[in-house]
Amino acid sequence: MSTNQQDRREFLRRTTGIVATGALAPYWFTGDDAAAQESQSKHDRYGLGAIGAGGQAGDIVPAARRYADVVAVCDVDRQHAESGRRRFSDGKADIYEDYRNLLDRKDVDVVTIAVPDHWHTKIAIDALRAGKDVYCEKPLTLTIDEGKKLRRVARETGRVFQVGTQQRSSPDLFLKAIAMVQAGRIGTVKRVTCAIGGAPTSGPLEKIAPPAHLNWERWLGQAPLVDYIEQRCHGWFRWWYEYSGGMVTDWGAHHVDIATWGIGMERSGPLTVEALSASHPVPFKNGFPTVDNQYNTATEFRVQCMFPNGVEMIIRHDTDNGVLFEGTEGRIFVDRGQLIGKAVEQLIENPLPEDAITKLYKGKRPGNSIPNISESGGHVRNFFECVRDRSEPISDVFTHLAALDTCHLANIAIRLGRKLNWDAERGQIVGDDEANGLLSRKQRKGYEITT
């Protein structure tokens, strides 16, 4: 165990439990505003198309039903689609296997996208081009090149686009942590550590015929056409580089986002990214796995990123799943259950300005989860508020993609095992053709991302 890791765990051990989550929380908002009134008239409600009806859709679509009527559900798994129709629309919505048919509907104003990561960019771009406002789960892209395309279309269309990084809507934890850091409560930030879990391993997995209710070829989309393995699909897709980035882009999309926001680099990028240590469950050659029937994303990693403002960011697998900010005058740690550190205790005598959180939240009122709805409820509320007034939501495309580029670069460094020099302005890795080859991926014919 490194000295930094020992210091961090000692800090967590000494401070855990000192500050109760809600004890110093002047920014908890209750009650609904106009956008959240369940009694709003029919003509004020939106028509919603739910693209993806599996796991994460069960969190965001019920929250969205406070503001919209689900008129269409799309999923390449018929069982998911039928279940989604029952759960999201009381059996009233139409079902589609091809999301393009859903986007053709004039009564669909907004869409939720809760599909595997490798489909996010293409569906989002097509939805924007179709004139829909979009709530899409993170991470938005599988590659940095996809992010370039999505930025361009988001600018051109001007649609409202909320990314599902709901930690940005947590006033008592993550927003307060960022406000404290940016107010200098721990001095000048020198290091920020994003601790996330590692990916699982598997033994050889059986190749079998896909179930009749699943369109496996369409599920694969832009990804290579391969034999069906149950553990490639649905909740297991995260452990294959063909469809995801493992924990580095799964939890990393949350914590790296908070870290870059806190240190003021949310619209920038790192200068260098280096994998100090990493391991994969299968052999790799030239950055690609050589085994096709086992999980292949990194199980262990420690990546160092250096930013233009001199701050060091560490992205590492760890059981302490959260973000640690270290400054010249103290440290604070935040995760989904706690915000701790001496500076947090000092809020009793020296609170943040009353408008500190609202300013961070782009002038709107942040709200925690809607009781009995979902953990993303407040984040969904912000999306519909912005749909109503055509403003930028708290988790916009551009800040998300800046943080996600750091995650993608971390994965490239992990896969190649070397240091990368990043030119954020050009969107290129300096002097490394092999690494630049991993900024994009091959598109299977018929599923290309077009802009």
Lowest-pLDDT range, 39-53, 211-225, 257-271, 418-432?
39-53
Q: Structure tokens of 210? A: 């896909």
For residues 31-53, give the mean pLDDT.
68
Q: Look at the pTM and tell me if it is higher than 0.75.
A: yes
Helix 78-89 and helix 57-64: axis angle, to 10°?
A: 30
Q: Identify the residue with better confidence: 13 or 399.
A: 399
Q: Identify the residue with better confidence: 423 or 32.
A: 423
Preceding peptide of 116 cis, ω within 30°: no
Checking if the pLDDT of 22 tops 50, the result is no
Check if the beta carbon of residue 181 is closer than 8 Å to that of residue 189.
yes
Q: Is the dihedral of CA 349, 353, 355, 360 positive or negative?
A: negative
Band of the pLDDT at 55, cuts 50, 70, 90? confident
Alpha carbon distance 220, 323 (integer Å): 34
For residues 201-230, give the mean pLDDT.
98
| pLDDT given for residue 412 in this prediction | 98
Write out pLDDT tens, residues 133-192: 999 999 999 999 999 999 999 999 999 999 999 999 999 999 999 999 999 999 999 999
The one-character DSSP state at 404 is: H
The residue with tokens 């954020």 is 424
Alpha carbon distance 358, 261 (integer Å): 15
Q: Is the dihedral of CA 313, 319, 322, 325 positive or negative?
A: negative
Tell me phi and psi for residue 406, to 5 degrees.
-60, -40
Check if the beta carbon of residue 249 is closer than 8 Å to that of residue 117.
yes
| pLDDT given for residue 374 in this prediction | 52
Lowest-pLDDT range, 10-24, 199-213, 356-370?
10-24
Write out pLDDT tens, residues 348-367: 999 999 999 999 999 998 87
Write out pLDDT tens, residues 92-142: 999 999 999 999 999 999 999 999 999 999 999 999 999 999 999 999 999
Domains of the chain: 3-27+168-360+398-439 (3.30.360.10), 34-165 (3.40.50.720)
Checking if the pLDDT of 40 tops 70, the result is no
Q: Is the dihedral of CA 360, 196, 420, 164 positive or negative?
A: negative
Tell me phi and psi for residue 225, to 5 degrees.
-75, 115
Tell me phi and psi for residue 402, to 5 degrees.
-65, -45
Checking if the pLDDT of 427 tops 60, the result is yes
